[in-house]
A and B are shown apart, each in its own frame.
Chain A
Amino acid sequence: MGDETIFEFLHAEIINYTMNQNEIKKSDCKDEELSDLEYIGFTTGFKMIERLTKEMPRFKDELDTMKFICTDFWTAIYKKQIDNLRTNHQGVYVLQDNSFRFLTKISDGRQYLDVAPKYVGFTCGVIRGSLANLGINSIVTAEIQNMPLCKFHIQVQRN
């Protein structure tokens, strides 16, 4: 499959679909709204990583895994690397993408900030799914203050 346009349109339609579905289900809790979208991303990421890392050596540690997500994985999916990775070495990672692919065409600034969460829900799921398949349970959230810059917060769950 050659073209990324397909992926972008498919992504847009998935958002469209899940939002419609939510209206039908009439979930009154705001957090519920993005959960289907996130779940679709989760399954995608989960399967994706399985195929990507098939012939790779084992990751050394958590940080090594994160580095892989930021570089190779991100390049494979979003055609660029994560611009900045930060961590407090206690299980919190912040991945910063200065021009996130799904936001670049929407706005350059604060306009449409209210709809932005819809466009990152899928990706949060993808990250969570990939990490889950690499043995890291996490919570992934996104923070957008100024499009198209997007920060993904990964909180590793230890038990």
Chain B
Amino acid sequence: MSRSTARIDVKKVNSELVTLTYGALVAQMVKDFDNVDDVSKQLERLGYNMGIRLIEDYLAKTATGRCLDLKDTADKIQSAFRMYLGVQPNVANWSPAGDEFSFILDTNPITELVELPEEIKGLKYCNIICGVIRGALEMVQLDVQCWIVQDQLKGDANTEIRVKFIRRLEDAIPAGED
């Protein structure tokens, strides 16, 4: 071939592809809904759907066992971030009760090349990550709440994602059994 393939960095392309595809999707959503809150909600739902499938992939690839405690869970999500987004967030700001913590990302791959216009400043662009975390944890019987505290798109220094443990889900009894 006349053109050298070496110049295209496959890893970088893949990352940009996801970023741009996600951007195109958000743009479409903003067009579809009048309300930015609805868009944020949709993004969360979409993330949730991805999360419940992603956990399978994660467990298969890492051969990890059950989490012992929330600290362990946080570490594993941290490693999932590295695996899927190529970034290593810091786990910080534990609540005194030990049921809440934050992921602090100094670079956020999905907001690269992104700038929020003034009229949709309220949009929670990274809400998809919250959805993914919630969906994935639900599949391992952990009910959590997840939201964005700081956002680089809104001028903060870091992106901070807060996770709050709600309860442990019980396995339901299969239908037809007592």
Contacts and interface: CB of A to CB of B under 8 A. Distances in A.
Q: Do A and B come from one complex?
A: yes
Interface of A: 1-7, 9-11, 13-14, 16-18, 21, 36, 39-41, 43-44, 47-48, 51-52, 55-56, 67-68, 71-72, 75-77, 79
Interface residues of B, number: 37
Interface in B8-45: 8, 10-11, 13-25, 27-29, 32, 42
A76 B18 contact: no
A2 B83 contact: yes
With most chain B CB atoms within 10 A of its CB, the pick from A39, A41, A71, A72 is A72
Given A2-B84, A5-B57, A11-B21, A68 B14 contact: no
Contact of B21 (A10, A56, A76): A10
B50 interface: yes
A14 B29 CA distance: 10
B122 interface: no
A40 B20 CA distance: 10
Interface of B: 1, 3, 5, 7-8, 10-11, 13-25, 27-29, 32, 42, 46, 49-50, 53-54, 57, 82-86, 109
A36 B28 contact: yes
A5 B46 contact: no
Contacts of A43: 20, 23-24, 27
A76 B13 contact: yes
A2 B5 contact: no
A2 B84 CA distance: 5
A48 B15 contact: no
B84 A1 contact: yes
Contact of A5 (B7, B24, B32, B54): B54
A107 B90 CA distance: 41
A79 B46 CA distance: 25
B14 to A, nearest CB: 6
Given A21-B32, A56-B3, A1 B27 contact: no
20 contacts: A2-B82, A3-B84, A4-B14, A5-B54, A6-B18, A6-B54, A7-B18, A9-B53, A13-B46, A17-B29, A39-B28, A43-B23, A48-B13, A48-B16, A51-B16, A52-B13, A72-B3, A72-B8, A76-B14, A77-B17
